[in-house]
Structure 1
């Protein structure tokens, strides 16, 4: 199956790995990072929050049980040592699930129920070094403001940026030691500059100065800020419930969990959007390339709900999907010339 348009076409590798028969199971596949010869996936399966794969697709390890709502993952190198930042969004599998309810969010018997989220810095093998302070304990949030973070990114100076996309939609900045600096991303005077269901955060280093780039998923948008939290610009992608992108060859590749009108996401309608150096949409994996200003759509059958992306050192694109029948990551190989 070949997906995409123009110079950005990919073929799904149907033979990658034997994960479906593995004893290591997933709930939802959320985010991917690479550590040398391994691909790490974060998942909210309570039995193993981190799953490790080699490049043939074989599972080499599964570990971690203390992050039942595991959702975001960042990997950093500090003085030759590797560390992880693991984001728990607070959504957990309900031990009292009635076996039926999956979107009855106010029900005590729904499959997923909320608790406060957390962000931890760990060693490469998952030993916790510190956890970031809950914004309520820092005096930033009031008791009625939920904290359910979705992602984290780290700047070159070590500053840590957390996006509270399932909670109160602020970006929370901490220094390298985990000490709180500021909160931003929600502007009551300029609602169009505010994050709505922030689903991913990263550093855009393509320009002269690095910028913070955040998803505003419910608003079909990406928003850029300075590293000190000042609004820079916004890119609206009609029809796309878009996540923060990864970067490759000065292009942005962004997972889209659903397509559909605002407030009306369509199930099993995920795509991957690819933007050029000018942030112009040039390819849609799993859908047709829309005319300028028209909505991104899914051609049905390619993906479920695209959630996390990794462009690995082997030159291939790896995709993690939410609510995809416990599916392990997919490998997409660039077509010749792409």
Structure 2
């Protein structure tokens, strides 16, 4: 059935992005709602856009920024925002609101789900408050990690604004200080500090805007840590004890956190580029990598091209997205896109075709 659907789309021409890419990589579209029936993406990773999927009543369930989203074991989509009237918004897959909670996370940003025995738990980062908390899925705080300034890991003058967490199979917690000092801090499951690595700089083992972090367990015999170095347009791979291994360079893509699902890595691209500009406001797309860490599709962006084994510059090519901040993948490989600084837009669904 899956192959027949894709063949039908290819034969009818719907799989085309239907947009000519100008020399600077952008197409100006006056009516963004016209994109709601578009198919975007490349190769085997094409998607039908559902712009209104997550729309709610802003009077009762307001948002500022949709930062991140995770899928829990019950199939519910849990999203964090920085709107303290409802920091956490829980959807079903049809886009219907199930519930909300949370009023204390003024800059709620990172949201990671971890299966602890039979229970789902959440890890929330609040960079403005310098906090990382572990909670139940209904908001009960289980643990708060220590601030590195309070335990002598940072000096009092160092900035600590944690943006993301990743949880290793043994329960170790990795915190990326993406808006602070660009270290990745490792704690054990009890919240005791182990080490820090990375730090701001331009060496291979250093990071610049360490916005995201994720466990890459696609090879169960060689589990590693992927760290975003957003200004470097890259993910950097480390061992679980902080030794630098390699860099996945993604030219033109100011990526947020890596999301590992099946054989693939997905990421929101928060800014795109033009020919002479480092970052273009109100831009972005989604990028998808295969099991070999090669980009195979850029929904909302230009088709990935390799020359001599090197990935070429990637750019936005539709006006659909403003600052893609996260990607959530469901069991059917549909994508849910959270956006930052996007005029209080609710998440967009990309239906796999």
In structure 1, stretches of 5+ residues that fail to align are: 91-115
Distance 1:153 1:218 in 2: 20
Shift of 1:14: 4.1
Q: 2:53 aligns with which of 11, 16, 34?
A: 16
Matching of residue 181 in structure 1 with residue 194 in structure 2: yes
1:122-174 CA distance string (max 9 Å, x none): 12211112210000111110111110011001011000000000000000000
1:77 shift after superposition: 2.0
Contact 1:225 1:232 survives alignment (8 Å): yes
1:248 matched residue in structure 2? 261
What residue is the counterpart of 1:267 in the other structure? 281
Shift, 1:11, TM fit: 0.8
CA distance in 1 between partners of 2:177 and 2:166 (Å): 12
Query: Greater CA deviation, 216-225 or 243-252?
Result: 243-252
Which whole-Å CA distance do the structure 2 matches of 1:317 and 1:225 have between them?
A: 27
Report 1:93-242 matches (<5 A): 116-186=129-199, 191-207=203-219, 208-242=221-255
Q: Deviations over 1:42-65 (max 9, x none)?
A: 010121111111111011212101
Task: Give the conservation status (yes or no) of the 8 Å contact 1:117–1:147.
Answer: yes
Distance (whole Å) between structure 1 residues aligned to residue 64 and residue 52 of structure 2: 22
CA gap of 1:298–1:58, structure 2 versus 1, over 3 A, is same
Matches of 1:206 and 1:83, distance apart in 2: 22
**What does 1:81-96 align with in structure 2 at a 5 Å threshold?**
81-90=119-128
C-alpha distance in 1, partners of 2:147/2:102? 21
Contact kept? 1:73, 1:87, Cα under 8 Å: yes
Partner deviation per Cα, 1:174-213 (whole Å, 9 max, x = no partner) = 000101111111276x723211101111000122310000
Structure-2 residue corresponding to 1:320? 338
CA offsets, 1:84-137, max 9 Å, x none?
1111011xxxxxxxxxxxxxxxxxxxxxxxxx4100011221111221000011
SS in structure 2 opposite 1:194? coil
Question: C-alpha separation between the residues in 1 aligned to 2:39 and 2:283?
Answer: 17
Structure 2: runs of 5 or more not aligned: 1-37
Cα distance in structure 2, aligned partners of 1:121 and 1:81: 13
**Alignment partner, residue 51 of structure 1:** 89
Give the secondary structure class of the aligned counterpart of 1:73.
strand
| CA drift at 1:18 | 4.4
On the 8 A contact 2:236/2:248 being kept in 1, the answer is yes
- Runs of 4+ aligned residues of structure 1 deviating over 6 Å after TM superposition are none
Q: 2: distance between equivalents of 1:48 and 1:146? A: 27
Alignment pair present for 1:39 and 2:77? yes
Partner of 1:108: none
TM-score (norm 1): 0.87
Any idea what SS the aligned residue of 1:162 has?
strand
How far residue 291 of structure 1 moved from its aligned partner, in angstroms, is 2.6
Find the aligned partners of 2:257 and 2:150 in 1 and give their Cα distance: 28
Q: Secondary structure at the match of 2:313?
A: coil
CA shift at 1:314, angstroms? Answer: 4.1
Tell me if structure 2 keeps the 8 A contact 1:275–1:282. yes
Contact map agreement 1:20 1:328 (CA 8 A) in 2 = no
